[in-house]
Structure 1
Amino acid sequence: MGPVNRYERWNVLLELVAEAGQLDVVETAEKLGVSTATIRRDFDELAAQQLLTRTRGGATAHSVSYDLPLRYKVAQHAPEKQRIAAAAAALVPAGSTVALNGGTTTTEVARALASRSDPGPGGRGPALTVVTNALNIAHELVVRPHIHVVTTGGSARAQSYELVGPVAIGMLEQVALDVAVLGVDAIDVDHGASAHHEGEAAINRLMAARAREVIVVADGSKLGKQAFARICPLTAVSVLVTDASAPAAQAARFSDAGVRVVRA
Protein backbone atom coordinates (compact mmCIF):
# COMPACT_ATOMS: atom_id res chain seq x y z
CA MET A 1 0.00 0.00 0.00
CA GLY A 2 1.34 3.44 -0.96
CA PRO A 3 1.46 6.63 1.13
CA VAL A 4 -2.04 7.53 2.34
CA ASN A 5 -1.71 11.31 2.55
CA ARG A 6 0.40 14.06 1.06
CA TYR A 7 2.70 14.38 4.08
CA GLU A 8 3.56 10.69 3.95
CA ARG A 9 4.00 11.05 0.19
CA TRP A 10 6.36 14.00 0.70
CA ASN A 11 8.42 11.92 3.13
CA VAL A 12 8.74 9.17 0.54
CA LEU A 13 9.54 11.63 -2.28
CA LEU A 14 12.31 13.26 -0.24
CA GLU A 15 13.76 9.88 0.64
CA LEU A 16 13.65 8.86 -3.03
CA VAL A 17 15.25 12.06 -4.32
CA ALA A 18 17.94 11.85 -1.63
CA GLU A 19 18.76 8.31 -2.73
CA ALA A 20 18.53 8.73 -6.51
CA GLY A 21 19.56 12.37 -6.92
CA GLN A 22 16.76 13.00 -9.41
CA LEU A 23 13.21 11.82 -10.06
CA ASP A 24 10.98 11.64 -13.13
CA VAL A 25 7.33 12.66 -12.78
CA VAL A 26 5.87 9.73 -14.73
CA GLU A 27 8.05 7.03 -13.15
CA THR A 28 7.47 8.43 -9.65
CA ALA A 29 3.70 8.60 -10.16
CA GLU A 30 3.67 4.95 -11.20
CA LYS A 31 5.84 3.94 -8.26
CA LEU A 32 3.61 5.71 -5.72
CA GLY A 33 0.33 4.79 -7.42
CA VAL A 34 -0.91 8.36 -7.87
CA SER A 35 -1.52 10.64 -10.85
CA THR A 36 1.21 12.61 -12.59
CA ALA A 37 -0.72 15.78 -11.70
CA THR A 38 -0.41 14.91 -8.02
CA ILE A 39 3.34 14.32 -8.31
CA ARG A 40 3.82 17.58 -10.22
CA ARG A 41 1.95 19.41 -7.50
CA ASP A 42 4.05 17.67 -4.82
CA PHE A 43 7.27 18.61 -6.58
CA ASP A 44 6.13 22.22 -6.92
CA GLU A 45 5.25 22.46 -3.23
CA LEU A 46 8.51 20.85 -2.09
CA ALA A 47 10.48 23.13 -4.41
CA ALA A 48 8.69 26.14 -2.87
CA GLN A 49 9.96 24.94 0.51
CA GLN A 50 13.52 24.76 -0.89
CA LEU A 51 13.64 21.01 -0.25
CA LEU A 52 14.37 20.04 -3.85
CA THR A 53 14.86 21.67 -7.25
CA ARG A 54 12.15 21.46 -9.89
CA THR A 55 13.24 20.40 -13.37
CA ARG A 56 11.44 19.90 -16.65
CA GLY A 57 9.69 16.57 -16.18
CA GLY A 58 10.92 15.93 -12.66
CA ALA A 59 12.96 17.12 -9.70
CA THR A 60 16.51 16.90 -8.36
CA ALA A 61 18.08 17.03 -4.91
CA HIS A 62 19.85 20.25 -3.97
CA SER A 63 23.19 18.49 -3.62
CA VAL A 64 24.78 15.05 -3.60
CA SER A 65 25.10 15.18 0.21
CA TYR A 66 21.40 15.93 0.61
CA ASP A 67 20.42 15.32 4.23
CA LEU A 68 16.76 15.43 5.24
CA PRO A 69 15.63 17.64 8.12
CA LEU A 70 14.22 15.70 11.04
CA ARG A 71 10.58 16.66 10.49
CA TYR A 72 10.66 15.36 6.90
CA LYS A 73 12.49 12.15 7.70
CA VAL A 74 10.45 8.98 7.66
CA ALA A 75 10.63 7.84 11.28
CA GLN A 76 12.23 4.42 11.40
CA HIS A 77 11.00 2.02 14.12
CA ALA A 78 8.32 4.57 15.16
CA PRO A 79 6.20 2.32 17.46
CA GLU A 80 9.34 1.04 19.17
CA LYS A 81 10.55 4.59 19.72
CA GLN A 82 7.23 5.55 21.31
CA ARG A 83 7.51 2.63 23.74
CA ILE A 84 11.12 3.53 24.51
CA ALA A 85 10.07 7.15 25.09
CA ALA A 86 7.27 6.20 27.48
CA ALA A 87 9.65 4.01 29.51
CA ALA A 88 12.33 6.74 29.61
CA ALA A 89 9.85 9.46 30.59
CA ALA A 90 8.65 7.30 33.48
CA LEU A 91 12.22 7.34 34.87
CA VAL A 92 12.27 11.15 35.11
CA PRO A 93 11.12 12.30 38.59
CA ALA A 94 8.58 15.13 38.88
CA GLY A 95 10.21 18.50 39.42
CA SER A 96 13.43 17.46 37.69
CA THR A 97 15.60 19.52 35.42
CA VAL A 98 16.01 17.25 32.41
CA ALA A 99 18.15 17.73 29.31
CA LEU A 100 17.03 16.43 25.93
CA ASN A 101 19.16 16.42 22.81
CA GLY A 102 17.71 16.22 19.30
CA GLY A 103 16.48 13.23 17.34
CA THR A 104 13.37 11.22 16.62
CA THR A 105 13.52 9.19 19.84
CA THR A 106 14.09 12.15 22.17
CA THR A 107 11.29 14.00 20.38
CA GLU A 108 9.02 11.14 21.43
CA VAL A 109 10.43 11.41 24.97
CA ALA A 110 9.50 15.11 24.98
CA ARG A 111 5.95 14.23 23.92
CA ALA A 112 5.72 11.58 26.64
CA LEU A 113 6.93 14.08 29.25
CA ALA A 114 4.44 16.66 28.00
CA SER A 115 1.55 14.24 28.47
CA ARG A 116 2.33 13.77 32.17
CA SER A 117 0.15 15.58 34.68
CA ASP A 118 2.54 15.81 37.63
CA PRO A 119 2.00 18.85 39.85
CA GLY A 120 4.92 21.20 40.29
CA PRO A 121 6.86 21.34 43.59
CA GLY A 122 4.47 22.35 46.34
CA GLY A 123 1.58 22.06 43.89
CA ARG A 124 2.71 25.11 41.97
CA GLY A 125 5.32 26.02 39.40
CA PRO A 126 6.50 23.83 36.52
CA ALA A 127 6.33 20.08 36.88
CA LEU A 128 9.54 19.83 34.87
CA THR A 129 12.28 22.04 33.54
CA VAL A 130 13.46 20.88 30.12
CA VAL A 131 16.81 22.11 28.84
CA THR A 132 17.22 21.31 25.16
CA ASN A 133 19.37 22.18 22.17
CA ALA A 134 16.66 20.86 19.81
CA LEU A 135 14.53 23.57 18.22
CA ASN A 136 11.67 21.22 17.36
CA ILE A 137 11.44 19.96 20.94
CA ALA A 138 11.42 23.50 22.33
CA HIS A 139 8.72 24.43 19.80
CA GLU A 140 6.50 21.54 20.90
CA LEU A 141 6.96 22.04 24.64
CA VAL A 142 6.84 25.82 24.92
CA VAL A 143 3.02 25.80 24.80
CA ARG A 144 2.83 23.40 27.77
CA PRO A 145 2.25 25.54 30.87
CA HIS A 146 3.48 22.84 33.27
CA ILE A 147 6.89 22.63 31.57
CA HIS A 148 9.59 25.30 31.84
CA VAL A 149 11.55 25.23 28.58
CA VAL A 150 15.14 26.48 28.36
CA THR A 151 17.10 26.39 25.10
CA THR A 152 20.87 26.39 24.87
CA GLY A 153 21.26 28.92 22.07
CA GLY A 154 23.85 28.23 19.41
CA SER A 155 24.12 27.67 15.68
CA ALA A 156 21.29 25.59 14.19
CA ARG A 157 21.92 22.45 12.15
CA ALA A 158 19.20 22.01 9.52
CA GLN A 159 19.70 18.25 9.44
CA SER A 160 18.70 17.67 13.07
CA TYR A 161 17.27 21.00 14.33
CA GLU A 162 20.01 20.93 16.98
CA LEU A 163 21.82 23.99 18.26
CA VAL A 164 25.58 23.48 18.47
CA GLY A 165 28.78 25.45 18.86
CA PRO A 166 30.40 27.67 21.52
CA VAL A 167 27.22 29.54 22.50
CA ALA A 168 25.46 26.25 23.33
CA ILE A 169 28.55 24.98 25.17
CA GLY A 170 28.84 28.22 27.16
CA MET A 171 25.23 27.98 28.33
CA LEU A 172 25.45 24.32 29.37
CA GLU A 173 28.61 24.99 31.38
CA GLN A 174 26.52 27.23 33.66
CA VAL A 175 23.68 24.84 34.54
CA ALA A 176 23.07 21.83 36.76
CA LEU A 177 20.93 19.00 35.43
CA ASP A 178 19.20 16.20 37.28
CA VAL A 179 18.80 13.93 34.26
CA ALA A 180 20.10 13.92 30.69
CA VAL A 181 18.06 11.84 28.25
CA LEU A 182 20.22 11.35 25.19
CA GLY A 183 19.39 9.92 21.82
CA VAL A 184 22.47 8.48 20.15
CA ASP A 185 23.48 7.16 16.75
CA ALA A 186 25.27 4.19 18.30
CA ILE A 187 26.12 2.65 21.66
CA ASP A 188 28.75 0.03 22.29
CA VAL A 189 30.19 -1.53 25.43
CA ASP A 190 33.76 -0.59 24.49
CA HIS A 191 33.27 2.70 22.62
CA GLY A 192 30.37 4.01 24.70
CA ALA A 193 27.70 6.29 23.26
CA SER A 194 28.47 8.07 20.00
CA ALA A 195 27.08 10.31 17.26
CA HIS A 196 27.84 10.88 13.59
CA HIS A 197 28.41 14.65 13.95
CA GLU A 198 31.20 15.89 16.20
CA GLY A 199 29.42 19.19 16.99
CA GLU A 200 26.33 17.38 18.24
CA ALA A 201 28.49 14.92 20.17
CA ALA A 202 30.23 17.80 21.97
CA ILE A 203 26.92 19.21 23.21
CA ASN A 204 25.66 15.75 24.19
CA ARG A 205 28.92 15.10 26.05
CA LEU A 206 28.47 18.28 28.08
CA MET A 207 24.83 17.45 28.85
CA ALA A 208 26.01 14.10 30.21
CA ALA A 209 28.75 15.74 32.27
CA ARG A 210 26.35 18.28 33.82
CA ALA A 211 23.74 15.65 34.78
CA ARG A 212 23.51 13.47 37.88
CA GLU A 213 22.05 10.66 35.81
CA VAL A 214 22.35 9.82 32.10
CA ILE A 215 19.64 7.85 30.33
CA VAL A 216 20.44 6.73 26.78
CA VAL A 217 17.47 5.94 24.54
CA ALA A 218 18.30 3.74 21.55
CA ASP A 219 16.36 1.15 19.57
CA GLY A 220 17.90 -2.27 19.11
CA SER A 221 19.43 -1.39 15.72
CA LYS A 222 21.91 0.99 17.42
CA LEU A 223 23.27 -1.43 20.01
CA GLY A 224 26.75 -2.82 19.50
CA LYS A 225 27.49 -0.12 16.89
CA GLN A 226 30.03 2.72 16.80
CA ALA A 227 29.67 6.17 15.25
CA PHE A 228 32.41 8.69 14.47
CA ALA A 229 32.29 11.00 17.51
CA ARG A 230 32.15 9.64 21.05
CA ILE A 231 29.66 11.28 23.41
CA CYS A 232 30.68 9.54 26.62
CA PRO A 233 32.09 6.23 27.86
CA LEU A 234 29.65 3.58 29.01
CA THR A 235 30.65 4.25 32.63
CA ALA A 236 28.84 7.61 32.38
CA VAL A 237 25.55 5.93 31.39
CA SER A 238 23.18 4.92 34.20
CA VAL A 239 20.30 3.50 32.17
CA LEU A 240 19.90 2.23 28.62
CA VAL A 241 16.30 2.18 27.42
CA THR A 242 15.89 0.05 24.32
CA ASP A 243 13.23 -2.15 22.73
CA ALA A 244 12.42 -5.82 22.32
CA SER A 245 14.42 -6.00 19.08
CA ALA A 246 17.65 -5.70 21.08
CA PRO A 247 19.28 -9.16 21.11
CA ALA A 248 19.30 -10.65 24.62
CA ALA A 249 23.04 -11.34 24.43
CA GLN A 250 23.72 -7.74 23.43
CA ALA A 251 21.56 -6.39 26.27
CA ALA A 252 23.34 -8.70 28.70
CA ARG A 253 26.71 -7.20 27.75
CA PHE A 254 25.49 -3.77 28.82
CA SER A 255 24.06 -5.18 32.05
CA ASP A 256 27.35 -6.93 32.79
CA ALA A 257 29.12 -3.60 32.27
CA GLY A 258 27.02 -2.03 35.03
CA VAL A 259 24.31 -0.32 33.00
CA ARG A 260 20.67 -0.81 33.93
CA VAL A 261 18.93 -2.03 30.78
CA VAL A 262 15.21 -1.37 30.31
CA ARG A 263 13.59 -3.14 27.34
CA ALA A 264 10.37 -1.34 26.49
Structure 2
Amino acid sequence: MSKHQRWSRLLELLAAKGRLEVDETAAELRVSPATVRRDLDELAEQQMLVRTRGGAVAHGVSYELPLRYKSSRRATEKQRIAAAAVELIGEGEVVGLNGGTTTTEVARALALRTAGGRHGGTEATAPMYTVVTNALNIAGELAVRPQIKIVATGGVARPQTYELVGPLAAGVLKEVVLDVAVLGVDGLDPELGLMTHQEEEASISRLFAERAQRVVVVADASKLGRRAFARICGLDRVDIIVTDSTAPADTVARLGDLGIRVLTV
Protein backbone atom coordinates (compact mmCIF):
# COMPACT_ATOMS: atom_id res chain seq x y z
CA MET A 1 0.00 0.00 0.00
CA SER A 2 1.45 3.36 -1.05
CA LYS A 3 1.64 6.37 1.24
CA HIS A 4 -1.18 8.07 -0.69
CA GLN A 5 -3.38 5.00 -0.29
CA ARG A 6 -2.58 4.80 3.43
CA TRP A 7 -3.36 8.47 3.94
CA SER A 8 -6.65 8.15 2.07
CA ARG A 9 -7.60 5.14 4.17
CA LEU A 10 -6.54 6.81 7.42
CA LEU A 11 -8.65 9.88 6.67
CA GLU A 12 -11.63 7.75 5.68
CA LEU A 13 -11.37 5.79 8.94
CA LEU A 14 -11.04 9.01 10.90
CA ALA A 15 -14.10 10.51 9.19
CA ALA A 16 -16.10 7.40 10.08
CA LYS A 17 -14.87 6.88 13.65
CA GLY A 18 -13.81 10.32 14.82
CA ARG A 19 -10.79 8.80 16.62
CA LEU A 20 -7.96 6.42 15.70
CA GLU A 21 -5.72 4.29 17.91
CA VAL A 22 -2.30 3.45 16.49
CA ASP A 23 -2.18 -0.29 17.24
CA GLU A 24 -5.76 -0.96 16.12
CA THR A 25 -5.27 1.06 12.93
CA ALA A 26 -1.98 -0.65 12.14
CA ALA A 27 -3.68 -4.03 12.37
CA GLU A 28 -6.52 -2.90 10.11
CA LEU A 29 -4.14 -1.50 7.47
CA ARG A 30 -1.70 -4.39 7.89
CA VAL A 31 1.26 -2.07 8.42
CA SER A 32 3.54 -1.46 11.38
CA PRO A 33 2.56 0.86 14.25
CA ALA A 34 5.66 2.93 13.42
CA THR A 35 4.31 3.53 9.91
CA VAL A 36 0.94 4.63 11.27
CA ARG A 37 2.60 6.98 13.78
CA ARG A 38 4.70 8.53 11.03
CA ASP A 39 1.67 8.95 8.76
CA LEU A 40 -0.38 10.53 11.54
CA ASP A 41 2.45 12.92 12.37
CA GLU A 42 2.69 14.03 8.74
CA LEU A 43 -1.08 14.45 8.42
CA ALA A 44 -1.09 16.48 11.64
CA GLU A 45 1.59 18.77 10.20
CA GLN A 46 -0.81 19.45 7.31
CA GLN A 47 -3.57 20.22 9.85
CA MET A 48 -5.71 17.37 8.54
CA LEU A 49 -6.09 15.79 12.00
CA VAL A 50 -5.09 16.31 15.62
CA ARG A 51 -2.51 13.98 17.16
CA THR A 52 -3.25 12.51 20.55
CA ARG A 53 -1.34 10.21 22.86
CA GLY A 54 -1.64 6.87 21.10
CA GLY A 55 -3.53 8.03 18.04
CA ALA A 56 -5.44 10.92 16.47
CA VAL A 57 -8.81 12.66 16.50
CA ALA A 58 -10.71 14.56 13.83
CA HIS A 59 -10.96 18.31 13.74
CA GLY A 60 -14.20 19.87 14.94
CA VAL A 61 -17.74 18.59 15.28
CA SER A 62 -18.10 17.25 11.75
CA TYR A 63 -14.93 16.26 9.95
CA GLU A 64 -14.26 17.52 6.45
CA LEU A 65 -12.08 15.39 4.24
CA PRO A 66 -10.19 17.21 1.48
CA LEU A 67 -11.84 16.65 -1.90
CA ARG A 68 -8.88 14.69 -3.25
CA TYR A 69 -9.40 12.09 -0.51
CA LYS A 70 -13.20 11.94 -0.80
CA SER A 71 -13.29 11.20 -4.53
CA SER A 72 -13.04 7.43 -4.14
CA ARG A 73 -15.76 7.11 -1.48
CA ARG A 74 -19.03 5.65 -2.80
CA ALA A 75 -17.79 6.42 -6.31
CA THR A 76 -20.19 4.02 -8.07
CA GLU A 77 -23.22 5.47 -6.29
CA LYS A 78 -22.14 9.02 -7.10
CA GLN A 79 -21.76 8.17 -10.78
CA ARG A 80 -25.27 6.69 -10.89
CA ILE A 81 -26.66 9.73 -9.11
CA ALA A 82 -24.87 12.05 -11.54
CA ALA A 83 -26.19 10.20 -14.60
CA ALA A 84 -29.75 10.46 -13.27
CA ALA A 85 -29.35 14.15 -12.40
CA VAL A 86 -28.17 15.01 -15.90
CA GLU A 87 -31.36 13.49 -17.29
CA LEU A 88 -33.23 16.23 -15.41
CA ILE A 89 -31.35 18.97 -17.28
CA GLY A 90 -32.71 20.20 -20.59
CA GLU A 91 -30.54 21.18 -23.52
CA GLY A 92 -29.80 24.90 -23.60
CA GLU A 93 -30.38 25.37 -19.89
CA VAL A 94 -28.19 27.41 -17.56
CA VAL A 95 -26.92 25.06 -14.85
CA GLY A 96 -25.41 26.03 -11.51
CA LEU A 97 -22.97 23.60 -9.89
CA ASN A 98 -21.41 24.04 -6.47
CA GLY A 99 -18.31 22.09 -5.49
CA GLY A 100 -17.99 18.53 -4.27
CA THR A 101 -17.37 14.99 -5.45
CA THR A 102 -20.94 14.31 -6.57
CA THR A 103 -21.34 17.58 -8.49
CA THR A 104 -17.98 16.86 -10.10
CA GLU A 105 -19.48 13.61 -11.39
CA VAL A 106 -22.51 15.59 -12.64
CA ALA A 107 -20.14 17.83 -14.61
CA ARG A 108 -18.46 14.77 -16.12
CA ALA A 109 -21.79 13.21 -17.02
CA LEU A 110 -22.85 16.46 -18.66
CA ALA A 111 -19.62 16.51 -20.65
CA LEU A 112 -20.24 12.94 -21.83
CA ARG A 113 -23.73 13.91 -22.96
CA THR A 114 -22.35 16.76 -25.09
CA ALA A 115 -19.78 14.42 -26.61
CA GLY A 116 -22.56 12.17 -27.85
CA GLY A 117 -25.10 14.86 -28.63
CA ARG A 118 -26.07 16.55 -31.86
CA HIS A 119 -23.13 18.90 -31.52
CA GLY A 120 -20.57 16.11 -31.46
CA GLY A 121 -17.76 16.78 -33.88
CA THR A 122 -15.05 19.35 -34.33
CA GLU A 123 -16.80 22.28 -36.00
CA ALA A 124 -17.69 25.32 -33.91
CA THR A 125 -21.29 25.29 -32.71
CA ALA A 126 -23.42 27.07 -30.16
CA PRO A 127 -23.00 25.70 -26.63
CA MET A 128 -25.51 23.07 -25.56
CA TYR A 129 -25.31 24.23 -21.95
CA THR A 130 -24.09 27.11 -19.84
CA VAL A 131 -22.55 26.04 -16.54
CA VAL A 132 -22.04 28.51 -13.71
CA THR A 133 -19.76 27.15 -11.01
CA ASN A 134 -17.66 28.25 -8.07
CA ALA A 135 -15.59 25.04 -8.21
CA LEU A 136 -12.15 25.38 -9.77
CA ASN A 137 -11.86 21.68 -10.61
CA ILE A 138 -15.23 21.62 -12.37
CA ALA A 139 -14.41 24.76 -14.36
CA GLY A 140 -11.07 23.23 -15.33
CA GLU A 141 -12.59 19.97 -16.52
CA LEU A 142 -15.36 21.64 -18.55
CA ALA A 143 -13.33 24.53 -19.98
CA VAL A 144 -12.03 22.30 -22.79
CA ARG A 145 -15.56 21.28 -23.83
CA PRO A 146 -16.65 23.59 -26.69
CA GLN A 147 -20.30 22.58 -26.27
CA ILE A 148 -20.35 23.92 -22.70
CA LYS A 149 -20.04 27.62 -21.89
CA ILE A 150 -18.32 28.00 -18.51
CA VAL A 151 -18.92 30.92 -16.17
CA ALA A 152 -16.63 30.72 -13.15
CA THR A 153 -17.27 32.94 -10.17
CA GLY A 154 -14.43 34.89 -8.69
CA GLY A 155 -13.55 34.51 -5.06
CA VAL A 156 -11.04 33.07 -2.63
CA ALA A 157 -10.18 29.41 -3.22
CA ARG A 158 -10.62 26.91 -0.40
CA PRO A 159 -7.93 24.20 -0.73
CA GLN A 160 -10.11 21.57 0.96
CA THR A 161 -12.82 21.66 -1.73
CA TYR A 162 -11.46 23.84 -4.59
CA GLU A 163 -14.51 26.10 -4.12
CA LEU A 164 -14.36 29.87 -4.59
CA VAL A 165 -16.06 31.76 -1.77
CA GLY A 166 -16.48 35.28 -0.46
CA PRO A 167 -17.87 38.57 -1.81
CA LEU A 168 -16.43 38.15 -5.31
CA ALA A 169 -18.17 34.80 -5.77
CA ALA A 170 -21.41 36.17 -4.33
CA GLY A 171 -21.22 39.21 -6.61
CA VAL A 172 -21.21 37.09 -9.77
CA LEU A 173 -24.07 34.86 -8.61
CA LYS A 174 -26.23 37.88 -7.80
CA GLU A 175 -25.97 38.95 -11.45
CA VAL A 176 -27.07 35.68 -13.09
CA VAL A 177 -30.27 33.66 -13.40
CA LEU A 178 -30.16 29.85 -13.45
CA ASP A 179 -32.60 27.36 -14.86
CA VAL A 180 -31.44 24.70 -12.43
CA ALA A 181 -28.99 24.52 -9.54
CA VAL A 182 -27.49 21.12 -8.86
CA LEU A 183 -26.20 21.12 -5.31
CA GLY A 184 -23.97 18.73 -3.45
CA VAL A 185 -24.28 18.77 0.34
CA ASP A 186 -22.57 17.30 3.41
CA GLY A 187 -25.83 16.78 5.26
CA LEU A 188 -29.55 16.63 4.55
CA ASP A 189 -31.91 16.74 7.50
CA PRO A 190 -35.71 16.63 7.08
CA GLU A 191 -36.08 19.35 9.72
CA LEU A 192 -33.09 21.63 9.17
CA GLY A 193 -32.63 21.19 5.42
CA LEU A 194 -29.38 21.26 3.47
CA MET A 195 -26.05 21.63 5.26
CA THR A 196 -22.33 21.76 4.63
CA HIS A 197 -19.21 21.87 6.77
CA GLN A 198 -18.13 25.45 6.13
CA GLU A 199 -20.18 28.62 6.51
CA GLU A 200 -18.68 30.47 3.53
CA GLU A 201 -19.49 27.57 1.22
CA ALA A 202 -23.00 27.45 2.67
CA SER A 203 -23.65 31.09 1.79
CA ILE A 204 -22.55 30.56 -1.82
CA SER A 205 -24.63 27.39 -2.18
CA ARG A 206 -27.59 29.33 -0.75
CA LEU A 207 -27.16 31.89 -3.52
CA PHE A 208 -27.14 29.12 -6.13
CA ALA A 209 -30.51 27.95 -4.76
CA GLU A 210 -31.93 31.48 -4.67
CA ARG A 211 -30.94 32.24 -8.27
CA ALA A 212 -32.37 29.00 -9.72
CA GLN A 213 -35.87 28.25 -10.97
CA ARG A 214 -35.51 24.72 -9.64
CA VAL A 215 -33.07 23.01 -7.29
CA VAL A 216 -31.80 19.44 -7.62
CA VAL A 217 -29.86 18.00 -4.68
CA VAL A 218 -27.42 15.17 -5.42
CA ALA A 219 -26.52 13.24 -2.27
CA ASP A 220 -25.57 9.63 -1.64
CA ALA A 221 -27.41 7.79 1.13
CA SER A 222 -24.73 8.56 3.74
CA LYS A 223 -25.75 12.25 3.63
CA LEU A 224 -29.45 11.66 4.34
CA GLY A 225 -30.39 12.28 7.96
CA ARG A 226 -26.94 13.70 8.63
CA ARG A 227 -26.22 17.17 10.00
CA ALA A 228 -23.25 19.43 9.39
CA PHE A 229 -22.12 22.74 10.84
CA ALA A 230 -23.48 25.32 8.38
CA ARG A 231 -27.04 25.47 7.02
CA ILE A 232 -27.54 26.19 3.33
CA CYS A 233 -31.32 26.44 3.10
CA GLY A 234 -34.55 24.72 4.02
CA LEU A 235 -36.10 21.90 2.05
CA ASP A 236 -38.80 24.27 0.81
CA ARG A 237 -36.25 25.43 -1.79
CA VAL A 238 -35.65 21.88 -3.06
CA ASP A 239 -37.55 20.33 -5.98
CA ILE A 240 -35.84 16.95 -6.38
CA ILE A 241 -33.37 14.91 -4.35
CA VAL A 242 -31.37 12.31 -6.28
CA THR A 243 -29.85 9.63 -4.07
CA ASP A 244 -28.85 5.99 -4.27
CA SER A 245 -30.93 2.89 -3.65
CA THR A 246 -29.49 2.30 -0.17
CA ALA A 247 -31.21 5.41 1.19
CA PRO A 248 -33.26 4.58 4.33
CA ALA A 249 -36.89 3.99 3.37
CA ASP A 250 -38.21 5.93 6.36
CA THR A 251 -36.17 9.01 5.45
CA VAL A 252 -37.28 8.82 1.81
CA ALA A 253 -40.91 8.50 2.96
CA ARG A 254 -40.57 11.46 5.30
CA LEU A 255 -39.13 13.61 2.53
CA GLY A 256 -42.01 12.56 0.30
CA ASP A 257 -44.46 13.62 3.00
CA LEU A 258 -42.84 17.06 2.84
CA GLY A 259 -43.71 17.26 -0.85
CA ILE A 260 -40.22 16.62 -2.16
CA ARG A 261 -39.65 14.23 -5.01
CA VAL A 262 -36.94 11.69 -4.17
CA LEU A 263 -35.35 9.82 -7.05
CA THR A 264 -33.39 6.71 -6.01
CA VAL A 265 -30.99 5.08 -8.46
TM-score (norm 1): 0.78
Aligned residue for 2:94? 97
Which residue is equivalent to 1:71?
Answer: 68
Query: Counterparts in 2 of 1:166-181, with a 5 A limit?
Result: 166-181=167-182
Q: Is the 8 A contact 1:95 1:129 kept in 2?
A: yes
Contact 1:195 1:230 in 2 (8 A): yes
Q: Deviations over 1:119-164 (max 9, x none)?
A: 46xx931111111111111111111121111111101111111111
* Compared CA separation, residues 144 and 226, structure 1 to 2 (3 A): same
**Corresponding position of 2:117:** 118
SS in 2 for 1:131: strand
The residue number in structure 2 matching 1:206 is 207
- Alignment correspondent of 2:256: 255
Aligned residue in 2 for 1:84: 81
In structure 2, relative to structure 1, the CA distance for the partners of 1:201 and 1:108 (3 Å cut) is same
- Classify 1:214/1:13 alpha carbon distance in 2 versus 1 (closer, same or farther; 3 Å): same
Q: Which amino acid aligns with 1:83?
A: R
State whether residues 71 and 101 of structure 2, in contact with CA within 8 Å, keep that contact through their aligned partners in structure 1: no
8 Å CA contact 1:11, 1:74 repeated in 2? no
CA displacement 1:58-107 (0-9 Å, x = unmatched): xx99x967964311335322211111111111111111110111111111
Shift of 1:200: 0.5
CA RMSD of aligned residues (A): 3.4
- 1:184-263 paired onto structure 2 within 5 Å: 184-263=185-264
SS in structure 2 of the partner of residue 143 of structure 1: coil
Separation in 2, partners of 1:170, 1:99: 15
After TM superposition, list the pairs within 5 Å mapping 1:120-139 onto structure 2. 124-139=125-140
SS at match of 2:254: helix
Contact 1:220 1:242 in 2 (8 A): yes
Structure 1 spans left out of the alignment, 5+ residues: 54-59
Letter paired with 2:153: T
**SS of equivalent residue, structure 2 residue 95:** strand
TM-score calculated relative to the size of structure 2: 0.78
Deviations 1:187-243 (A, max 9, x none): 122211111211111000000000011000111122123322221111110000011
Q: Residues 235, 31 of structure 1: CA spacing in aligned structure 2 closer, same or farther, 3 A cutoff? A: closer
1: CA distance, partners of 2:204 / 2:95 = 14
Which SS does the other structure have where 2:138 is aligned?
helix
**Secondary structure at 2:206's aligned position in 1?**
helix
| Structure 2 unaligned regions, length at least 5 | 49-54
Separation (CA, whole Å) in 1 of partners of 2:155 and 2:207:
14
Moved over 4 A (4+): 13-24, 27-35, 50-53, 63-68
Change (3 A) 1:13 1:173: same
8 Å CA contact 2:97, 2:133 repeated in 1:
yes
Provide the identity percentage: 56
